[in-house]
Amino acid sequence: MTTSDQNSEELAEGAAAVDPILPLTLYGPEISYFTGKLEAVIRYMELPYQRVNKGPMGELAVTTGTAQVPALRLADDRWMTDTTPIIAWLDERYPEASVIPRDPVTAFFSRLLEDYADEWLWRPAMHYRWDYAESAKLQSRVLIDEDESEIPLPGFIKRYIITNRQRKYFTRGDGVTPDTWNHVEKTFLDTLAQFSVILETRPFLLGSRPSLADFGFFGPMFRHFSMDPTSARIMRETAPSVYEWVARMWNARMSVTGGELLEHVPDDWGPILDSIGSTYLPYLCANAEAWKAGSSHFDVDIEGAPYRHIRTSRYRVWCLQELRRHFDTLSEPHRGEVRTGLEAHGCWKLLWRVEDLQSGVNPDHKAPFAGADSMEGSDSMTGMSSKEAEKLPWLPVFAARRNK
């Protein structure tokens, strides 16, 4: 054991002595979008933790009731899932390490940016990873080494099975086809351009330290775009300041990276909000309409791009409900300000277009605690239920072994 291991163990023991939820254990593979997002928040908050490489299926899905990572285990043996409510919970518990802006209007728009980065940038992130052979080869190997290394099959067969599964569910099977590739890639290129302008005047989206919106964008930017060969090359060549921001985020610590946040929504967020109004919110509405109609799949044109046979996501109906709930909790003058801001970017009408939303996700407000009755079996973000996901192990041989 090295001195630094000893020090961090002592620190973890010290923290646990005064705080029953510490140290934390974060379950999720190193290359996972949402695991990277949550890990960055935990690092920034300087909470003692260790990360355990675990995929979303198997034991973890049984324990949490949801076939997705990350899962967070508290030292008092409670489990949590879903990064958005986990971050909100940690933010409330550790106000001195807060990442959610205190100004209610800025907080509302930060939540909107976080949601957009979580749910809409997911598609280009999966596309650059699984549709380009150079990325798919590399990352399927990483997944095999992390989770499936003992399976006695040649590596190329394991890589083929994993790549095919990911394409079936997360690219081809989620509307990412040759007809939409250009549009999916445009989302990434636009985001790089929008970020580059912001980073000309400050190191993080709201000033000299990271906040919720930064952590939202960090999910796709860190474990996907800056690591997958094709998108990383584009980032390095066209947006080096974003590449630098990724490293700055990973290295941020609240005791060192402190500073005040802006208490208003900066003008340079405008282009991101325009994109939300022309892409993500129309998609969320079409998804909510499909959910209400009981359709498992739907078609939608976004900025003229024909997305076909997209899986309906119950979780994303909840995302829309959550945005409305946050609006409803604002006081009157703040509501007016938020409405004006949303109207300016074509978001206001879309936020309310679909009436009477009832996703049934988390009706008792028990999230983010996993295993709570209300979350059990609730759909993952892409619309794959935990039962369906359970039938889709990374590899059939692995499933056969597990079921013995």
Shortest distance, position 317 Cβ to ligand GSH, whole Å: 13
**Residue 359 near residue 291, CB atoms below 8 Å:** yes
> Which is nearer to ligand GSH, 12 or 125 (by Cβ)?
125
> Which is nearer to ligand GSH, 33 or 369 (by Cβ)?
33
Total residues binding ligand GSH (CB under 6 A): 13
Beta-strand pair 71-73/49-52: unpaired
**Residue 113 near residue 216, CB atoms below 8 Å:** yes
Other Cβ atoms within 10 Å of 247 Cβ, number? 11
Q: Residue from 83, 191, 313, 386 that binds ligand GSH (CB under 6 A)?
A: 83
**Residue 169 near residue 384, CB atoms below 8 Å:** yes
From 7-15, 29-37, 188-196, 239-247, span contacting ligand GSH (CB under 6 A): 29-37
**Which residues, other chains included, contact 202 with Cβ-Cβ below 8 Å and sequence gap of 6+?**
208
* Token pair of 295 as six digits: 């359709």
**Residue 33 near residue 130, CB atoms below 8 Å:** no
32 interacts with ligand GSH by CB under 6 A: yes
- At position 306, the amino acid (one-letter code) is P
Which sign does the torsion angle of CA 246, 367, 56, 166 carry?
Answer: negative
Q: Residue from 185, 389, 393, 395 that binds ligand GSH (CB under 6 A)?
A: 389
- Which of 384, 321, 385, 34 has the alpha carbon at shortest distance from 376? 385
- Which of 282, 309, 312 has the alpha carbon at shortest distance from 294? 312
> Which is nearer to ligand GSH, 33 or 218 (by Cβ)?
33
Shortest distance, position 346 Cβ to ligand GSH, whole Å: 25
- Where do we find the tokens 């004006």? 340
**Which residues, other chains included, contact 397 with Cβ-Cβ below 8 Å and sequence gap of 6+?**
151, 152, 153
275 interacts with ligand GSH by CB under 6 A: no
Reduce the DSSP state of residue 342 to 3 states and report it: helix
Shortest distance, position 260 Cβ to ligand GSH, whole Å: 28
Burial of 8 (0-12, 13-18, 19+ CB in 10 A): middle
Q: Residue from 24, 26, 34, 130 that binds ligand GSH (CB under 6 A)?
A: 34
287 interacts with ligand GSH by CB under 6 A: no
Q: Residue from 64, 84, 287, 312 that binds ligand GSH (CB under 6 A)?
A: 84
From 41-49, 81-89, 141-149, 257-265, span contacting ligand GSH (CB under 6 A): 81-89
> Which is nearer to ligand GSH, 34 or 44 (by Cβ)?
34
Residues 319-358 binding ligand GSH (CB under 6 A) are none
Residues 44-73 binding ligand GSH (CB under 6 A) are 56, 68-69
130 interacts with ligand GSH by CB under 6 A: no
- Which of 240, 298, 281 has the alpha carbon at shortest distance from 119? 281
From 31-39, 105-113, 235-243, 324-332, span contacting ligand GSH (CB under 6 A): 31-39
Shortest distance, position 362 Cβ to ligand GSH, whole Å: 12
87 interacts with ligand GSH by CB under 6 A: no
Shortest distance, position 267 Cβ to ligand GSH, whole Å: 29
Q: Residue from 381, 385, 390, 397 that binds ligand GSH (CB under 6 A)?
A: 381
Beta-strand pair 24-27/49-52: parallel
147 interacts with ligand GSH by CB under 6 A: no
**Angstrom distance (rounded) from CA 163 to CA 147:** 15
33 interacts with ligand GSH by CB under 6 A: yes
> Which is nearer to ligand GSH, 56 or 277 (by Cβ)?
56
**Residue 392 near residue 351, CB atoms below 8 Å:** no
Give me the residues that bind ligand GSH (CB under 6 A), please. 32-34, 56, 68-69, 82-84, 118, 380-381, 389
